[in-house]
Amino acid sequence: MWVIKLGGSLLSSGSLNEWLSIIVEFGKGKFVIVPGGGSFADQVRQAQKKWRFDDKAAHQMALLAMEQTAHLLKSVEPDLSLTDSIKDIEEIVNLNKVPVWLPCKMIDTYQDISSNWNVTSDSLALWLAGKIKAEHTMLVKSLSARNRNARQLSDFDMVDKAFPEFVKKSESRLWWLEENDIGVFKKMLKTKTEPEDYLKSVVY
């Protein structure tokens, strides 16, 4: 299995539908989608500034923001399947479908994730990849990685603060895709080749 994290920034772009249709058409039985929190998570940040609630509450609300995005993706692309467990992920993939991860239940069950803004959907994508033993993890972003390593990406606030540690522990190969890499992504899936043959931005 491969994990693909769709950044929340795609919600405000014109390419989300195309990304989803390509994943559903060519990634069945291979991909698990991790949704970003996007504008829903931004609302949590704004509410926390106003109401001063603690990071634990904000973290839970940010996980729910990811689930809001998941439901949005499902509505846009009905062939996707929502799931909140490893067992269901495996069953959906075995049925040659594409699951979209709902994180709240699993994160609450394992309780090995820091409950603050240091851990967001990028690190959680790597965390899930470890749990399902994914060979590759792909982060789809509107920003360019510009050959930066995990620490540099974190320092530039392109990913969360915990991201470098998750990369260090991960056994999944990590790839950074920009929004306009969609053509390359489609060719890779159509030819059923490994990412190394097409993608250049690997994160260390």
- Share of residues in the chain with pLDDT > 90 (%): 91
Residue 44 CB partners (closer than 8 Å, separation 6+): 37, 58, 61, 62, 65
Neighbours of 128 (CB within 10 A): 24
**pLDDT tens per residue across span 4-28:** 999 988 988 889 999 999 999 999 9
Please work out, in degrees rounded to the nearest 5, the angle formed at the alpha carbon of residue 36 by the alpha carbons of 34 and 40.
Answer: 140
Answer yes or no: is pLDDT of 111 > 80: no
Instruction: Please state which CATH class domain 6-197 belongs to.
Output: alpha beta
User: 113: alpha, beta or left, given left = phi > 0 and alpha = psi -120 to 50?
Assistant: beta
Residue pair 104/48 in contact (Cβ under 8 Å)? The answer is no
Residues 141 and 124: their CA atoms lie apart, in Å, by 15
Look at the alpha carbons of 97, 196, 134, 161 in this order and tell me if their dihedral is positive or negative: negative
pLDDT at position 101 is 98
Global pTM value: 0.96
Q: What is the mean pLDDT of residues 26-34?
A: 96
**pLDDT tens per residue across span 52-63:** 999 999 999 999
Domain ranges of the chain: 6-197
Confidence of residue 189 (pLDDT cuts 50, 70, 90): very high
Question: Which H/E stretch holds residue 3?
Answer: strand 2-6
Neighbours of 137 (CB within 10 A): 27
Confidence of residue 112 (pLDDT cuts 50, 70, 90): confident
Residue pair 140/19 in contact (Cβ under 8 Å)? The answer is yes
